[in-house]
Amino acid sequence: MSGEAARALVEQLKTVVPDGCLVLPSSPRYDAARQVYNRMHDHRPAAILRTLDEAVLRKALTGAATLGVPVAVRGGGHHIGGFSTVDGGLVIDFSVFRDVAYDPETRTARVRPGARLGDLDARLAAYGRCVPSGTVSDTGITGLTLGGGIGWLVAGHGLTCDHLSGARVLLADGRILEVSRDHHPDLFHALRGGGAGAFGIILELRFRTLPLPRITAGSVRFPLDRAADVLHRIHGLLEERTPTSLTLAPALVHRDGVPELSVDLCCHGDARETAMETARLRKRIGGDWSDVGEREYPRWQAHFDSSFLPPMRGYWKSSHSTRLAFDPDLMTGALRAAPTARCSVLVEYFNTDTLRAHAEGSAYPLRESRMGVLLSARWPDRAEDDTHVRWGRTWTERLRSGHDSVRAYSNYSDASDSHAGVAGGDRRLRDALRRLEETYDPDRLFARGHRAGLTESRGARTPAEDDRRKRLPSGSLRSSTPAAP
Candidate CATH numbers 3.30.465.10, 3.90.105.10, 3.30.750.24, 3.90.850.10; the one for domain 100-211: 3.30.465.10
- For the chain, the average pLDDT equals 92
Q: 253, 219 in Cβ contact below 8 A? A: no
pLDDT value for 353 = 98
Q: Which residues contact 439 (CB under 8 A, 6 or more apart)?
A: 186, 187
Class of domain 215-424: alpha beta
* Cα–Cα nearest to 396, from 350, 331, 348: 331
CATH no., domain 3-95+430-454+462-470: 3.30.43.10
Q: Residue 174 is which amino acid?
A: G
Alpha helices in 204-301 (DSSP H): 227-240, 271-285, 297-301
Classify the C-alpha dihedral 406-356-165-190 as positive or negative. Answer: positive
Nearest to 315 by CA among 263, 255, 376, 374: 376
pLDDT for the residue 476: 35
Strands (E), 75-212: 90-93, 100-103, 108-111, 129-130, 164-170, 176-179, 201-208, 210-211
Find, among 154, 170, 172, the residue nearest to 162 by Cα.
154
Q: What is the pTM of this model?
A: 0.93
The CA distance from 364 to 13, in Å, is: 37
Q: What is the mean pLDDT of residues 117-143?
A: 97
Q: What pLDDT score was predicted for residue 404?
A: 81
What was the pLDDT predicted at 454?
76
Query: CA 144, CA 153: separation in Å to the nearest integer?
Result: 15
Q: Cα(204)–Cα(111) distance, rounded to whole angstroms?
A: 6
Q: What is the pLDDT of residues 418-460, one digit of tens each?
A: 888 776 777 888 899 999 999 999 999 999 889 887 764 333 3
* Phi, psi for 231 (deg, rounded to 5): -65, -40
Domain extents for the chain?
3-95+430-454+462-470, 100-211, 215-424
Q: Tens of pLDDT along 92-125? A: 999 999 999 999 999 999 999 999 999 999 999 9
